[in-house]
Structure 1
Amino acid sequence: MSCIIKTALEIKNMRKSGKIAAEVLEMISKYIKPNINTEDINTICHDYIVRKKQAIPACLGYHGFPKSICISINDVVCHGIPNTKQILKEGDIVNIDIAVIKNKYYGDASKMFFVGKVNLLSKNLCQVAQNSLYLSLKSIKPGIPLYKIGKIIEKYVNKHNFSVVEEYCGHGIGRNFHEEPHILHYYNKNNNILLEKGMIFTVEPMINAGKRHVRCMSDGWTVKTQDNSLSAQYEHTILVTEYGCDILTWQKGEIISPKLINKT
């Protein structure tokens, strides 16, 4: 299993795609309030991607996915399909997953949003999910084995008595939405390729408040926790650099630098 090393021109294009994905998440934040339906959120994002950014929503039509973004609420782990009947309510936690194509290159990111005031469990779960991502990104540099990313995430999440979904993983990204290698969010010693400068991939841990097990709904897309517990996810597209990594989908207000220097 290998990863495509990107050229300087490809990296320049990937920075543009990543920035657009980040900007969509920044833009949509003010709309995440009680009583908005998820189809309206989808439409707002679609129009922003297409009209404002002259880009393509990568999810639309991907293996038949019917919408431009994924919206996953509460016990939905990933791939939630926006629709008019799904209305956000006070206390919900919501993952919005944005993937775009600009100049034939992909950018991919997701984050959690709170709908009004949420309970302590919801806050803690989202904080642990985000922290697990941040901790793993800080470990990245050329020469480390890929499994270190998953090992750090799993150890941190387990310490907080939550669980890591194993069925879905991060992935290489570039001119294709999903490229090699698979980025596992749990420890697997066989996931041992060494990182190299110029690799670009996503890290996107899905963290459940209960057990790690999931189930896919009859629509063939929506994935929920098997025990109906809450789930949270954060995702970034990153570039391995000579000094650590650059977060290509970094958003304003994040408590982490877009350029991470790993001197260990």
Structure 2
Amino acid sequence: MREVNRIISDLFVDIKNLIKEGVSTNELDLWAENYIKERDAEPAFKGYRGFPSTLCVSINDEIIHGIPSEDKKLKKGDLVSIDVGAFKKEHYADAARTFIVGSTSFENRRLVNVTRKALDIGIKEAVPGNRIGDIGYVIQKYVEENGFNVVREFVGHGIGRKMHLEPAIPNYGEKNKGPLIEKGMCLAIEPMVVAGSYEVQILDDHWTAVTVDGKNAAHFENTIFISKEGPEVLTEINEGDYARK
């Protein structure tokens, strides 16, 4: 798990340099596929349940599962959420980041920063003896205190020899509720935060999830390992600041 997740961690370090005005989402996708394969791994998303690409690239009001396209080019001020997975030696990695293209509004930057912080807060609750509801509770509380909402329809998940395993990890919940967090688990925690209503709709491509009110979204995700000392983040090594200035 450490080996395959390090590939995704490194990918996010390098892809930051490609996220600029005029770049198509398809360019990012082709680059990422080559990056993963050059490291003797395979893209985990491509072909998964019929998804056509290596990356999910979701822009502005797109929450998750955006399909890359040569026609979709990045513009100044865009919020670009990239979700990517890899498979190597029978194990999976999964992570997501939201980047900013150039400069953007104060509110957009605040949305990105709150989502990033919500992930960190959620991960701190992932210790043996806590419950899954403890993760969702602190994420929801922090996000709503900052005037945003968490998406209900999509959640985090267990991960390991399969991409999606139990338990489901909602970004909302109650303390002391849900499955017990135990040593040895691997979890993909992924707050999806929206500036307006948390209700979503799926576009005609049957994949891209967007906000119903057209307001922007941000998405961060890390795969973590639960050791007896607490959570070890597997998909974040010396990445620095995600929100490009």
TM-score bracket relative to the smaller structure: over 0.9
- Asked if 1:48 is matched to 2:30, the reply is no
2:12 to 18, 25, 41: 25
For normalisation by structure 1, the TM-score amounts to 0.89
2:172 to 152, 168, 186: 186
CA contact (8 A) 2:134 2:176 kept: no
- Counterpart of 2:95 in structure 1 is 109
- Counterpart of 2:84 in structure 1 is 98
Task: Give 3-state SS (helix, strand or coil) of 1:87's partner.
Answer: coil
Report the Cα distance in structure 1 between the residues aligned to 2:155 and 2:201, rounded to whole angstroms. 16
- Asked if 1:84 is matched to 2:76, the reply is no
Task: Give 3-state SS (helix, strand or coil) of 2:94's partner.
Answer: strand
CA contact (8 A) 1:25 1:98 kept: no
1:71 to 36, 40, 57: 57
- Counterpart of 1:225 in structure 2 is 211
- Counterpart of 2:120 in structure 1 is 134
> 1:217, CA displacement in angstroms?
0.3
Q: Which amino acid aligns with 2:88?
A: K
Report the Cα distance in structure 1 between the residues aligned to 2:49 and 2:177, rounded to whole angstroms. 26
> 1:145, CA displacement in angstroms?
1.2
Report the Cα distance in structure 2 between the residues aligned to 1:195 and 1:23, rounded to whole angstroms. 28
CA contact (8 A) 2:140 2:172 kept: yes
> 1:140, CA displacement in angstroms?
1.9
Task: Give 3-state SS (helix, strand or coil) of 1:88's partner.
Answer: coil
Q: Which amino acid aligns with 1:86?
A: K
Report the Cα distance in structure 1 between the residues aligned to 2:127 and 2:175, rounded to whole angstroms. 18
Task: Give 3-state SS (helix, strand or coil) of 1:147's partner.
Answer: helix
Alignment of structure 1 residues 201-240 onto 2, 5 Å:
201-240=187-226
Alignment of structure 1 residues 251-262 onto 2, 5 Å:
251-254=237-240
Alignment of structure 1 residues 1-12 onto 2, 5 Å:
none
Instruction: After superposition, give the CA deviation of every residue in 1:83-114 in whole Å (9 maximum; x if it has no partner).
Output: 00000000001011110001110000010111
Task: Give 3-state SS (helix, strand or coil) of 2:183's partner.
Answer: coil
CA RMSD of superposed structures (Å): 1.2
Task: Give 3-state SS (helix, strand or coil) of 2:116's partner.
Answer: helix
Report the Cα distance in structure 2 between the residues aligned to 1:125 and 1:189, rounded to whole angstroms. 25
CA contact (8 A) 2:121 2:139 kept: yes
Report the Cα distance in structure 2 between the residues aligned to 1:168 and 1:254, rounded to whole angstroms. 27
Give percent identity, aligned residues only: 38
Report the Cα distance in structure 1 between the residues aligned to 2:137 and 2:174, rounded to whole angstroms. 8
Q: Which runs of 4+ in 1 moved over 4 A?
A: 188-191
1:246 to 225, 232, 243: 232
CA contact (8 A) 1:214 1:225 kept: yes
- Asked if 1:171 is matched to 2:153, the reply is no
Structure 2: 5+ residue runs without aligned partners? none
Q: Which amino acid aligns with 2:31?
A: I
Task: Give 3-state SS (helix, strand or coil) of 1:224's partner.
Answer: strand
Instruction: After superposition, give the CA deviation of every residue in 1:125-159 in whole Å (9 maximum; x if it has no partner).
Output: 00000101101111221000110000000000000
CA contact (8 A) 1:93 1:114 kept: yes
